[in-house]
């Protein structure tokens, strides 16, 4: 299927290969293959390989007595995972690299996500964002799976992400994989419209000390990180991050009173223990002001452990467990404490030459306790939700350049019980550098607490969660091309058609009440495209965008309060152009122009954002950057109703980053 296993992180390799193509054009170099001799060597040593069947057990001293040919023919299981090329991933995947993030001047995770052409990212106010892929964006967008180092970031309260509670040290992010389109087999039931997978560097890659000090008119931050080697073997890092966000303002320039601040501490340890063992955790606390109520308070602690190991017979095993505790108190609305436990076992195994199988089991439990307010209640206030799932995916090599992938996930959840999510993908490598792929999938969003258990207001409610609310469903077909059009021009195009059923509606029932139900259906189709052109070794141009059409309809019998318009607030198109230039050895200049079409539902006008980022490396390990965003406008709205919506101001931000 797509990223054959999110933990095996094939995409890294793909991306490296992809990047290498960019560089390849600089030298105009030619590679010649030395196949003949290799085959000969393999023939000569195939006998010993069969006898030893798997890993050799020579000591290093013994190895020195072998010839180079003999060394090259020895089998070691830990490198059995064959690298794949980016052009072989049969999905619409965009990878935001660490370099992209650095050069963009992004200060927060949601701002970094603006780099992905296949996401809709709209800032709501100082601390809140609406982020989705392939539409259905809202303040409570609920069809995206978001993971940070394998930990699911969306809350079962409304199946969306509280972006103010999710933070990472951007300097330690290795890459962000953004998949648009359903990917439920590998990633779970919320991966309806896409997946965001934030992956931080291993601890070995963040040794030494780092200080980041940044200040601008919209935000200030201080990051201190220390990394080193453990006496017992392995590496660690610890970090602290303080962040302060200034308040946004309304259209008339009045202050929105939503300034906020946040502190976060965290660590990560990686060590080799018969494989790779990772322990990591974060603890954070934040305060967000409100105009007419007490501060919102958020707090959380999470702890994750993961062990990956190579087994015999080209198989790979992963065990992961994490605990995630979050607290959120929104005075006047609700207060929630939530404990999540997640356990997963995953194995990848190659059967014969033709079958590459990934299977896994996952158990996830969430205990929450939601205190109600006069405005909103969740009843019962305490609830335990569980999700158990089993998934398997077989990637079959039909021919050398044709792969068929069959996958299915079975999930049992507290609300709707058994759900089935199948997926078929086909990848055809037309040439080594050009791939055509197609996919048909069913995915679903299982009900959240909001859909089932909400009551507003608490007394004599007018809006009620639907006791019968079922999963929202998607049938999708998509097809794409990715490859090298010229030696220095890469490109990706995806066309998709989504057919949704049982989308959430608000149905009036007798006595003036409204109930959440599955009264809507929808079609959407569109194009996603991006490419990179590197005219010079020191100059890269990139462009990308999406076209999106959505048609939401009320099903027979539905009398949705919003007439089907409550769930979609998306631009019909958006695009960006970006130039990344190295000016000599010590300077970098990045310019980008981003266009987002109007949001018809809210009457948010179309906007162009011109951003510039200038970086200077005065000495080794020092980086000084100046980021300017939204240079065209003094401020602009990106989301929400014209009444009382915040606008995003022009920003100027200076940052010093120093490695020791």
Write 417-423 long-range contacts (CB < 8 A, 24+).
419/189, 419/444, 419/446, 419/471, 421/182, 421/184, 421/185, 421/189, 422/185, 423/1, 423/182, 423/183, 423/184, 423/185, 423/393
202 binds another protein (CB under 8 A): yes
417 binds another protein (CB under 8 A): no
Distance between CA 160 and CA 183 in Å, rounded?
Answer: 17
Q: Select from 262, 268, 409, 645 the one that contacts another protein (CB under 8 A).
A: 262
Closest contact distance (angstroms) between CB of 162 and another protein is 17
Distance between CA 523 and CA 496 in Å, rounded?
Answer: 11
**By CB under 8 A, what part of segment 138-157 binds another protein?**
none
544 binds another protein (CB under 8 A): no
Closest contact distance (angstroms) between CB of 498 and another protein is 35
Between 16 and 399, name the residue whose CB sits nearer to another protein: 16
Between 148 and 604, name the residue whose CB sits nearer to another protein: 148
37 binds another protein (CB under 8 A): yes
Q: Select from 274, 418, 556, 643 the one that contacts another protein (CB under 8 A).
A: 274
Between 201 and 498, name the residue whose CB sits nearer to another protein: 201
Question: Could you tell me which residues come within 8 angstroms of residue 634 by beta carbon, excluding any fewer than 6 positions away?
Answer: 649, 650
Between 359 and 617, name the residue whose CB sits nearer to another protein: 617
Best CA proximity match to 559, nearest among 510, 592, 628: 510
Distance between CA 298 and CA 264 in Å, rounded?
Answer: 11
Distance between CA 476 and CA 189 in Å, rounded?
Answer: 15
Binding mask 222-251 for another protein (x = CB under 8 A): -------x---x-x------x-x-x-----
Q: Look up residue 255 and give its DSSP letter.
A: B
Between 78 and 641, name the residue whose CB sits nearer to another protein: 78
Residue that the structure tokens 């066309």 belong to:
495
Closest contact distance (angstroms) between CB of 431 and another protein is 17
Containing 63, the helix (H) or strand (E) segment is helix 60-63
Which tokens in the block code for residue 153? Answer: 């970031």
Closest contact distance (angstroms) between CB of 110 and another protein is 21
The answer to whether the beta carbons of residues 518 and 503 sit under 8 Å apart is: yes
Closest contact distance (angstroms) between CB of 23 and another protein is 5
Residue 62's SS3 state is helix
Q: From residue 363, give the alpha-carbon distance in Å to each of 217, 411, 499.
A: 44, 10, 29
Closest contact distance (angstroms) between CB of 220 and another protein is 6
**By CB under 8 A, what part of segment 82-141 binds another protein?**
82-83
Closest contact distance (angstroms) between CB of 80 and another protein is 5
Binding mask 283-302 for another protein (x = CB under 8 A): xxxxx-----------x-x-
Between 323 and 359, name the residue whose CB sits nearer to another protein: 323
Which tokens in the block code for residue 82? Answer: 């064959």
Which tokens in the block code for residue 84? Answer: 């794949």
Distance between CA 1 and CA 423 in Å, rounded?
Answer: 8
386 binds another protein (CB under 8 A): no
Q: From residue 206, give the alpha-carbon distance in Å to each of 11, 75, 108, 255, 313.
A: 21, 31, 19, 40, 33
Distance between CA 172 and CA 149 in Å, rounded?
Answer: 12
Q: Select from 8, 211, 307, 549 the one that contacts another protein (CB under 8 A).
A: 307
619 binds another protein (CB under 8 A): no
Between 56 and 610, name the residue whose CB sits nearer to another protein: 56
573 binds another protein (CB under 8 A): no
Q: Classify residue 480 by burial, with Cβ atoms within 10 Å: 0-12, 13-18, 19+.
A: buried
Binding mask 51-90 for another protein (x = CB under 8 A): ----xxxxxxx-xx-x-xx-xxxxxxxxxxxxx-------
Query: Furthest-apart CA pair in the chain: how many Å?
Result: 88
Closest contact distance (angstroms) between CB of 462 and another protein is 36
Between 68 and 556, name the residue whose CB sits nearer to another protein: 68
**By CB under 8 A, what part of segment 311-340 binds another protein?**
314, 319-323, 339
Between 71 and 644, name the residue whose CB sits nearer to another protein: 71
**By CB under 8 A, what part of segment 162-191 binds another protein?**
174
């Amino acid at each position: 299927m797509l990223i054959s296993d999110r933990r095996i992180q094939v995409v890294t390799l793909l991306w490296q290969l992809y990047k290498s193509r960019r560089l390849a054009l600089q030298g105009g170099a030619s590679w010649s293959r030395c196949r003949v001799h290799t085959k000969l060597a393999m023939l000569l040593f195939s006998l010993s390989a069969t006898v030893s069947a798997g890993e050799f057990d020579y000591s290093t001293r013994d190895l020195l007595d072998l010839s180079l040919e003999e060394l090259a023919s020895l089998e070691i299981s830990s490198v059995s995972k064959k690298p794949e090329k980016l052009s072989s991933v049969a999905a619409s995947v965009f990878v935001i690299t660490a370099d992209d993030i650095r050069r963009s001047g992004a200060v927060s995770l949601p701002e970094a996500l603006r780099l992905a052409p296949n996401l809709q990212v709209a800032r709501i106010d100082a601390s809140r964002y609406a982020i989705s892929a392939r539409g259905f964006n809202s303040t409570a967008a609920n069809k995206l799976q978001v993971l940070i180092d394998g930990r699911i970031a969306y809350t079962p309260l409304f199946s969306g992400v509280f972006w103010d509670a999710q933070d990472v040290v951007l300097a330690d992010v290795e890459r962000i994989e953004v998949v648009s389109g359903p990917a439920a087999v590998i990633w779970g039931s919320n991966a309806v419209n896409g997946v965001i997978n934030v992956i931080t560097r291993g601890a070995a890659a963040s040794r030494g000390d780092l200080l980041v000090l940044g200040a601008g008119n919209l935000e200030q931050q201080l990051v201190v990180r220390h990394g080193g080697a453990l006496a017992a073997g392995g590496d660690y890092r610890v970090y602290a991050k303080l962040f302060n966000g200034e308040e946004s303002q309304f259209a008339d320039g009045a202050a929105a009173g939503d300034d906020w601040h946040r502190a976060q501490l965290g660590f990560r340890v990686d060590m080799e223990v018969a494989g790779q063992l990772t322990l990591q955790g974060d603890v954070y606390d934040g305060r967000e002001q409100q105009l007419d109520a007490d501060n919102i308070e958020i707090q959380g602690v999470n702890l994750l452990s993961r062990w990956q190991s190579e087994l015999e017979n080209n198989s790979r095993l992963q065990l992961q467990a994490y605990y995630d505790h979050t607290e959120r108190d929104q005075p006047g609305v609700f207060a929630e404490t939530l404990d999540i436990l997640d356990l997963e076992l995953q194995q990848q195994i190659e059967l014969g030459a033709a079958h590459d199988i990934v299977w896994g089991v996952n158990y996830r439990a969430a205990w929450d306790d939601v205190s109600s307010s006069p405005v909103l209640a969740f009843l019962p206030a305490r609830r335990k939700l569980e999700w158990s799932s089993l998934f398997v995916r077989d990637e079959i090599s039909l021919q050398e350049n044709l792969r068929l992938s069959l996958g299915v996930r079975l999930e049992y959840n507290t609300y709707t019980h058994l759900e089935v999510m199948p997926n078929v993908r086909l990848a055809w490598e037309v040439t080594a550098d050009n791939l055509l792929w197609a996919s048909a999938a069913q995915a679903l969003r299982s009900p959240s607490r909001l859909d089932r258990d909400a009551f507003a207001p608490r007394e004599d409610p007018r809006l009620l969660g639907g006791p019968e609310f079922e999963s929202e469903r998607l049938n999708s077909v998509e097809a794409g091309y990715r490859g090298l059009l010229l030696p220095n021009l890469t490109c990706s195009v995806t066309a998709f058609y989504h057919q949704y059923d049982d989308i959430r509606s608000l149905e009036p029932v007798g006595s003036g009440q409204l109930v959440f139900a599955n009264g809507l259906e929808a079609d959407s189709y569109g194009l996603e495209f991006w490419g990179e052109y590197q005219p010079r070794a020191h100059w890269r141009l990139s462009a990308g965008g999406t076209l999106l059409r959505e048609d939401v309809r009320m099903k027979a019998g539905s009398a949705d309060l919003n007439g089907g318009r409550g769930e979609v607030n998306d631009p019909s198109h958006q695009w960006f152009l970006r130039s990344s230039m190295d000016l000599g050895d010590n300077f970098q200049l990045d310019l980008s122009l981003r266009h987002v079409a109007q949001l018809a539902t809210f009457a948010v006008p179309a906007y162009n954002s011109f951003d510039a980022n200038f970086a200077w490396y005065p000495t080794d390990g020092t980086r000084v950057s100046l980021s300017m965003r939204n240079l065209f406008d003094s401020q602009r709205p990106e989301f929400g109703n014209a009444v009382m919506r915040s606008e995003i101001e022009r920003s100027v931000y200076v940052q010093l980053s120093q490695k020791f």
